[in-house]
Every structure is written in structure tokens, then in C-alpha cells.
Structure 1
Amino acid sequence: MATLEYRLDEPERDHPVLLTYEDIDEDEISTRFICDYLVTEDRVYERTVTASGDRGFIIFVRLADDEQVWDPDGIPHPTWTGIRLEIRQFSEDAAYYPVLETLHCQTQTELRLYLQGEILYRGGKEWRKTSAEVDENRKVFVLYVEAADD
């Protein structure tokens, strides 16, 4: 088990700590390293850089001013088993990204295989990954995709 910190990428403020996870599994840390965005409370943060060292692991983030939180109240106690992955259709001009499919992965490795892929084949279509996020409010990972023929 390891320690993971999310820190604001603000060197002038000595990179203040946003979140700390003690005794987190290294598989989950590597999954979080892949995610482009973090949703927590009423804010969305964009990953700028990741770091590994003697004291643990760090994901540096900056506030993503152009992104909105869908459900700041969240889900305090999920009713599903496994790790939930929503696949959502991304569109540059959309205010809402519809869910194409919800998957339940049994391991972090299975989840990472979806998040790391650049192309996704689902429902007889080819989709291109645009980004990935971890939504702490809703206890889900989200993979954003757009139709490859767009």
C-alpha cells in the first residue's frame, strides 16, 4: 500500500495538498495516473503532471474553469460491485454527455485496459478516446469518446 496526494499545480503557493489517500493500492494509483480529470465536490481539476518518489505518489492538477460538475452531491454509498466505468459520448459543444454504456470492471487492470486504449469498439461502432476522469462524487471512472468517423 502507498500514499497518493493530489496537489494544486501552483508552485508560487508551494503546491498545496488538495486530497490525500493513505494506504491506497498501487494498482489504483496507476489507474488514477491515467485520468485526465478529477471531479471532487463542486470542482473539476485537470491533471498537469504525475510524480513518484520516496514519500509516495503525486498527481498535480489545475482547476479546469471550462468544465462543470454534473452532480456535486454524489453517491455516498454505491450499490454496485466492482469498479464502475461509464462510457460517455463527447461533443465539443454539448452541455451534457450521454452515457453510451456502463461497465463494471472487476480489477484495476481491466479498468486500465479501457482507459489506456485510444480506440474503443462497442455496439458495432468505432469510438476514439478524448479523455478519462475519476469522479469522486459519483464513485465512477468515466471514459469520454467520440465517433471515429466524425
Structure 2
Amino acid sequence: MKFEGAMLEYRLQRNSDKFEPIFYYSHIDLPQILARRECEFFIKEGKTFKQLSSAIEGDLFVIYVELYEEAPMEMEEHIHSGIKLEYRELSASNNHPMLTFEYMKNHLDILSIIGSIYTYIEGVEWERDSAEIDEDRGVYVLYVKSTGYLFEA
């Protein structure tokens, strides 16, 4: 496989033409890199970064980001095995309420969901707005808005 020894680096935009490496992952599998690349936002150490673009330099995957906002660092207890995915309604005025969550077995499962435009929760269709990887809490978050369509199987 071409990207067996893949690595990931986040680079922060310092000015219009200068980027500085800020986080580096040398032992990371390709599905996790792809899931992270699908996320418009990345949270680490209380800082939220917004993705600007991405690139591949040989075996090095690069995600270019800008600082979006800073907040106190949140932590979450890890009591389940698997990777947690939260579904949140896009509503800043309501603090993005959680609709539901589930635990996935691997990053391909995460990518399959966050890479889709539409998802269904209890028969209601939701449209994807954005996704984030929150390293502080150890979760992926999918932000969605209701289309008003009810899915009948």
C-alpha cells in the first residue's frame, strides 16, 4: 500500500504566505488521516482551528489551519471502547444540542458518516454542515441541520 508509513502534520497560518508546523503525528493510520482531513475544525489544548486546505508531500499529509477560537480545555471520560461520534444540531444560540451519539469501531466508520451529506436520526433527515475532531475530549462531532424530511423505510 502506498501510504503505509503515512504521517500527518498540522500547519498554522502565521500570515498570508507563512505556515508553521504545530502538531505532528508519526504513528497514524491512513483512515484516521482521511477522517481528520474531512473535518473542518480541529480542537486541541483548548484551541479550535479551522481547516484552510490540505496537501500530500510524499508520505506526509498536511492539514493547513488557522486559529478560530480559544476556550477552556474540556475533557471527557473514556469508558467505552471505540471512537465516539456525536451528532449535534447546528444551533449556536442553543450551544449546539446533542441529538445522539454512538461508538464506532474504526476511523473508516467515522469517515463513512461524516463524509455523507445526509444522515437519518430516528427517521428524521439531517443535512451535514461541518465536522470536527476534538482531541481534548477524544470525540468526533458532526454538526447537522434538519431538512424537515421524514424517512419512511
Taking structure 2 as the reference length, what is the TM-score of the superposition? 0.86
Structure (1/2) with the larger strand percentage: 2
Quote how far apart the aligned CAs of 1:55 are. Answer: 4.9
Q: In structure 1, what is the equivalent of residue 79 of structure 2?
A: 79
Cα offset, 1:95, TM superposition: 5.1
Cα distance in 1 between the residues matched to 2:124 and 2:131 = 19
| Offset, 1:79 | 1.8
1:113-132 CA-to-partner distances (Å, cap 9, x unmatched) read 11011011111111111100
* Structure 2 segments unaligned to the other structure (5+ residues): none
**Runs (4+) off by over 4 Å:** none
Distance in structure 2 (CA, Å) of the matches to 1:105 and 1:73: 21
Q: Out of 2, 7, 12, which is 1:3 matched to? A: 7
| Aligned 1:59-138 pairs, distance under 5 A | 59-65=63-69, 69=71, 72-75=73-76, 78-91=78-91, 93-94=92-93, 96-138=95-137
CA distance in 2, matches of 1:148, 1:117: 14
**Equivalents in 1 of 2:37, 2:74: separation in Å?**
25
Indicate the residue corresponding to 1:52 in structure 2: 56
Distance 1:48 1:12 in 2: 12
The letter for the 2-side match of 1:94 is: S
Structure 1: unaligned runs, 5 residues or longer:
none
Computing the radius of gyration from Cα coordinates, the structure with the larger value is 2
Where 2:136 maps in the other structure, the secondary structure is: coil
Aligned length: 145
Secondary structure, counterpart of 1:148 in structure 2:
strand
Structure 2 CA distance for aligned equivalents of residues 139 and 81 of structure 1: 12
- CA RMSD across the alignment: 2.0
Deviations 1:14-43 (A, max 9, x none): 311111111111110011110000011121
What letter is aligned with 2:81?
T
